[in-house]
């Protein structure tokens, strides 16, 4: 019989800590292939929306609505999002386009063959089994650039807020594509924090979304946060209730990462989650 991908000790540490760090999961070649493809996608992207977004005269409400529609429309497509600090006051880019993108999402894994190949395979399927996911369903993918100098902060949150299932089942697969350090904005986690309650639910109602507070448990203090400084090629898997954040990138180096959000098909997927699929575009596993 084939040995499980994770040893019993590793499985236990995932259950205790709420996350696991697996170095050398992806090869340099795999990473370079993904990076090149991301570059091609950004170069070929239609940025008309962003011209609208930053056109002078657009009211804050118009801007917010345009962004909201663009965001919701990206659920099952491939769309690019700018870094918040990419533009000057005139709405012009401060740096070249390819150094201005915050992320690409959210269905790369199903719509692009290169991303599909990176996101699937026996190794990932075996790993998911070891993490307790019996019927993996990949709902979302994001290529996160965390650009040098302008890569923005991601505040504390829990991924189960966005992917509710009953019982809770979402696990995040976070692939480091560059060495991640405290300077370039590595992930920070609260070890064991997956045992804390879910603080909020990201709700979609028609064309509106909001984060509804469901529990007042405060976010961890920095003293209880652990930086995950990892090498390119490392895979970090974490539980949907694990509080995590990433600080701004204040360095000269980008911190690219690729993430998959995966639930168990045996759990009931909420119809309120912002990403939904139907028979024309079914959710698939590894």
Ligand X SMILES: O=C(O)CCC(=O)C(=O)O
CA dihedral 193, 198, 201, 202 (to 10 degrees): 10
Site map (CB under 6 A) of ligand X, residues 4-43, x = contact: ----------------------------------------
Contact at 8 Å (CB) between 158 and 198? yes
Query: Minimal distance in Å, beta carbon 94 to ligand X?
Result: 21
Does 259 contact ligand X by CB under 6 A? yes
Interactions with ligand X, residue window 79-118 (CB under 6 A): none
Contact partners, residue 72, CB within 8 Å, separation at least 6: 204, 207, 209, 274
Q: List, as own/partner pairs, every contact residues 42-50 make where C-beta atoms lie below 8 angstroms and the sequence separation is at least 24, other chains included.
A: 42/80, 42/97, 42/98, 42/101, 42/104, 43/97, 43/98, 45/79, 45/80, 47/80, 47/97, 50/82
Query: Minimal distance in Å, beta carbon 152 to ligand X?
Result: 9
Query: Minimal distance in Å, beta carbon 218 to ligand X?
Result: 19
Query: Minimal distance in Å, beta carbon 55 to ligand X?
Result: 29
Contact pick of 76, 164, 172, 196 for ligand X (by CB under 6 A): 172
Query: Minimal distance in Å, beta carbon 238 to ligand X?
Result: 8
Query: Minimal distance in Å, beta carbon 252 to ligand X?
Result: 18
- In the complex with ligand X, the residue whose CB is nearer, 63 or 149, is 149
- In the complex, which residue's CB is closest to ligand X? 246
Site map (CB under 6 A) of ligand X, residues 125-164, x = contact: -------------------x-x-------x----x-----
Site map (CB under 6 A) of ligand X, residues 267-286, x = contact: --------------------
Cα–Cα distance between 246 and 189 in angstroms, integer? 9
Geometric angle at alpha carbon 194, from 192 and 195, rounded to 5°: 85
- Distances 47 to 22, 52, 148, 253 between C-alpha atoms, Å: 36, 9, 21, 25
Query: Minimal distance in Å, beta carbon 255 to ligand X?
Result: 8
Contact at 8 Å (CB) between 106 and 140? yes
Count of residues binding ligand X (CB under 6 A)?
Answer: 10
Pairing of strands 187-189, 165-166: unpaired
What would the two tokens of residue 243 be? 């509080």
- In the complex with ligand X, the residue whose CB is nearer, 6 or 171, is 171
Cα–Cα distance between 138 and 47 in angstroms, integer? 27
Rule CB under 6 A: which residues touch ligand X?
144, 146, 154, 159, 172, 174, 244, 246, 257, 259
């Amino acid at each position: 019989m084939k040995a499980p991908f994770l040893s019993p000790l590793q499985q236990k540490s995932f259950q205790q800590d709420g996350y696991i760090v697996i170095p050398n999961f992806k090869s340099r070649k795999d990473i370079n292939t993904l990076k090149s493809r991301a570059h091609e996608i950004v170069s070929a992207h239609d940025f008309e929306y962003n011209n609208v977004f930053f056109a002078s005269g657009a009211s804050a409400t118009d801007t917010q609505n345009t962004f909201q529609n663009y965001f919701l429309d990206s659920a099952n497509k491939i769309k690019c999002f700018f870094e918040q600090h990419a533009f000057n006051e005139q709405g012009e880019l401060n740096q070249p386009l390819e150094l201005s993108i915050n992320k690409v999402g959210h269905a790369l894994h199903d719509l692009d063959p290169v991303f599909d190949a990176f996101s699937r395979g026996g190794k990932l399927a075996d790993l998911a089994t070891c993490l307790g996911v019996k019927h993996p369903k990949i709902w979302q993918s994001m290529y996160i650039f965390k650009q040098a100098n302008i890569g923005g902060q991601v505040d504390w949150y829990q991924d189960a807020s966005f992917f509710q299932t009953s019982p809770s089942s979402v696990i995040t697969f976070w692939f480091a594509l560059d060495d991640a350090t405290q300077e370039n904005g590595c992930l920070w986690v609260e070890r064991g924090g997956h045992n804390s309650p879910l603080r909020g639910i990201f709700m979609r109602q028609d064309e509106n979304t909001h984060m509804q507070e469901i529990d007042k448990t405060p976010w961890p203090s920095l003293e209880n946060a652990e930086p995950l400084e990892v090498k390119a090629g490392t895979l970090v898997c974490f539980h949907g209730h694990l509080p995590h954040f990433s600080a701004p990138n204040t360095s000269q180096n980008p911190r690219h990462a690729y993430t998959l959000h995966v639930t168990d098909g045996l759990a009931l997927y909420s119809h309120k989650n912002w990403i939904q699929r139907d028979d024309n575009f079914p959710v698939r596993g590894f």
